[in-house]
Amino acid sequence: MFFASPWIAALVAMFLWWFSTGIILLLVRGADRADKQGESTLLMLPILCLGAVGFWLSKDTNTLQNVYIAFLSALAIWGWIELAFLNGIITGPNRSELPPETPEWERFIRAWGTIAYHEMLLVAALITLGFVAATAPNAFGFWTFAVLFFARISAKLNLFFGVPKINTEFLPSALAHLPSHFRHAKMNWLFPVSVTALTFAAACWLERIYASFNAADIVGFALLAALTALALLEHWFMVLPLPDEKLWRWMLPARKEQTKTTRLSEEAHGL
């Protein structure tokens, strides 16, 4: 069967990572141009509902079809939450720029304040999905969301501590205050830990592929391995001088003119 191949599953994961990120950026760019961030987020609410329904219906049977459905459902849930964040609907109580010469402890508190509601929603979603899938035969939807969650937390912390390259290509006006909370630096102590952990996680998924005999398990672990490898690649994009923004720039309309040009954002990378 065509979709039973782990190589095809990996390609599917790569395409969905690229395509879904592009769609989210396209929606955010359109909402930013029309100043309709709330309407855009509400209009996409059925995607969240479909993701929740798909997650629930696919969890009880570990079949090839349900593994793909679980993976897609987790991406749908994650994607809507990210859309709500990028549209400035679910962010945090702090929407102001970081004052100069702010002490490090205060900088962390202020940075947390810019994303607090978003992070709490992600944690609530992770716990809920984990509870629902705890005893289910098909837990690949939960593991998909967990990979995205921990990779994103790692990326945000690396941006806070400082990395050489922080792309600003897709930062919407609703989040224009975020750049002041991040830092340019040659390296930080967390980056080697992050890439090591992601590499180890990818290796674990690969080991599960070769240790599994069920086609559904092989595809599920291949999807997770590809997604983890993409998260690892996103981390390397923060330190290597590669034009990763070109992956999506061509498919987006020109952004509206803004009075202030922003130069930093974590959301220039994939999901």
Question: Each residue of 113-137: pLDDT tens digit?
Answer: 999 999 999 999 999 999 999 999 9
**Looking at the DSSP assignment, which residues form a beta bridge with residue 163?**
184
Q: Read off the pLDDT of residues 159-173 as tens digits, 9 standing for 90 and up.
A: 999 999 988 678 899
Residue 210 included in any domain:
yes
Q: What total of structural domains would you count in the chain?
A: 1
Residue 271's pLDDT is 67
Residue 243's pLDDT is 82
- Average model confidence (pLDDT) for the chain? 92
Give the separation between CA 91 and CA 188, rounded to whole angstroms: 25
Residue 270's pLDDT is 61
Give the separation between CA 55 and CA 140, rounded to whole angstroms: 9
Q: With pLDDT > 70 as the criterion, what percentage of the chain qualifies?
A: 93
Q: Does 259 have pLDDT greater than 50?
A: no
Residue 75 belongs to domain spanning: 2-249
Residue 148's pLDDT is 98
Contacts of 125 (CB under 8 A, 6+ apart): 77, 81, 145
Give the separation between CA 156 and CA 265, rounded to whole angstroms: 10
Cα–Cα distance list, 69 to 63, 66, 134, 215 (Å): 10, 5, 18, 15
Residue 254 included in any domain:
no
Cα–Cα distance list, 142 to 59, 125, 126, 127, 205 (Å): 9, 10, 7, 9, 14
Residue 257 included in any domain:
no
Residue 269 included in any domain:
no
pLDDT band at 268 (very low <50, low <70, confident <90, very high): very low
Residue 159 included in any domain:
yes
Closest CA to 115 of 73, 155, 170: 155
pLDDT band at 261 (very low <50, low <70, confident <90, very high): very low
Q: Read off the pLDDT of residues 66-109 as tens digits, 9 standing for 90 and up.
A: 999 999 999 999 999 999 999 999 999 999 999 989 999 999 99
Residue 267's pLDDT is 46
Residue 214 included in any domain:
yes
Q: Does 226 have pLDDT greater than 70?
A: yes
Residue 235 included in any domain:
yes
DSSP structural state of residue 135: T
Residue 261 included in any domain:
no
